[in-house]
Each structure stands twice: as structure tokens, then as C-alpha cells.
């Protein structure tokens, strides 16, 4: 009888524990994390689009190598961030995302696509530096305001990777 009472007394604790999330950070995200990821997805998508332009253009070997590096890093990050948005049950599109944070306008992208050779390299590097600086600013905001451990880790990675790439691009510009 005492064993039965002990089991019944422990049952609510077991049920509460069973209702917990299998992903400990699901409950740990906030509005800043959602905004960061919703904004970073299209930001990364545009960087991948720009990288693809460089790989297809008459760009220098250095620019093509950097573009491949950017695409290889940011492509998987896009997929990861979209998974987080699904986990958080929020849309992956961010209707309020404007051309801020280093995003290129349609006119910028069209103009870049019309260039080739050294002119392409110079414009691509200039635009990508601006683009990366915007991503670094977004990541710093996430570190200041966010609380999701995964988003914070990504923000630190974005800052490290993109600051290194900015230095490389500035070196290529001379």
C-alpha cells in the first residue's frame, strides 16, 4: 500500500517532466531571436545569390573563391534557421524586412549582373562588404537582445566569419 501511495504521489512529477520539450531551447527563444532569424534568412539568401553571380560572372579567381566560401557557409545556415522558425511555429518570411542591414536593392543587383571583369569584382566586393557589415550589426543586436542559445551561437559565428571575410574583401579592393 505504501508503495502505491508513493507511486501515485510521484505521478504528477513524472507527467510534468514528460510534458517538457525534447529540445531545451524551444522555450528559450524570444521576439529578438525570431526577428534575428527572420531577417537573417533573406539576408543570407541574398548573399548566396550574389555569390552565385560571382561564380557565373567573369570575376577574378579570388572573388570566385570567396564567393564559393560564402555560399558554402551560408547555404547550410539558411536551412538551419528555417528549421528553427518551423520549430518555433513562426513564418520564415519577414514581411517587415526592408532594404536596411546591408541588403541590396533590385537596382543594385541588376547593375551588378551587367558588369564583368575588374568592374564586376570592384562592385561585388564593395556591395558584399556593405552586406556583411549589415549582417554583423544584426548579429550584434541578437547578442544584446536575444536569449536562444542556438541563435546566439549563430550570431557569434556570423560576426567571426563575416568580419574575417570583410578584411579579405578590403584587402582585395586594395
Calculate the alpha carbon distances from 88 to 7, 11, 50, 69, 135 in Å. Answer: 35, 29, 29, 29, 22
pLDDT in tens, 121-165: 999 999 999 999 999 999 999 999 999 999 999 999 999 999 999
* pTM of structure: 0.81
6-54 pLDDT, tens digit per residue, is 434 443 433 333 333 334 444 589 999 999 999 999 999 999 999 999 9
Q: How many CB atoms lie within 10 A of CB 127?
A: 19
From the list 20, 101, 116, the residue with the least C-alpha distance to 59 is 116
Domain 30-173 has CATH 1.20.1260.10: yes
Name residue, grid cell 568592374: 119
Amino acid at each position: 500500500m505504501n508503495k502505491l501511495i508513493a507511486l501515485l504521489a510521484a505521478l504528477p512529477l513524472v507527467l510534468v517532466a514528460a510534458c517538457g520539450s525534447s529540445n531545451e531551447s524551444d522555450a528559450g527563444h524570444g521576439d529578438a531571436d525570431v526577428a534575428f532569424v527572420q531577417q537573417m534568412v533573406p539576408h543570407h539568401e541574398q548573399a548566396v545569390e550574389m555569390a552565385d553571380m560571382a561564380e557565373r560572372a567573369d570575376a577574378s579567381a579570388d572573388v570566385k573563391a570567396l564567393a564559393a566560401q560564402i555560399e558554402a557557409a551560408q547555404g547550410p545556415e539558411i536551412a538551419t534557421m528555417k528549421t528553427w522558425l518551423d520549430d518555433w511555429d513562426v513564418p520564415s518570411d519577414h514581411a517587415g524586412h526592408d532594404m536596411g542591414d546591408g541588403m541590396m536593392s533590385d537596382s543594385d543587383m541588376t547593375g551588378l549582373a551587367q558588369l564583368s571583369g575588374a568592374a564586376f569584382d570592384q562592385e561585388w566586393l564593395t556591395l558584399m562588404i556593405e552586406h556583411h557589415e549589415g549582417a554583423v550589426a544584426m548579429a550584434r543586436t541578437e547578442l544584446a537582445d536575444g536569449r536562444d542559445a542556438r541563435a546566439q551561437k549563430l550570431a557569434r559565428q556570423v560576426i567571426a566569419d563575416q568580419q574575417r571575410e570583410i578584411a579579405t574583401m578590403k584587402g582585395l579592393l586594395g
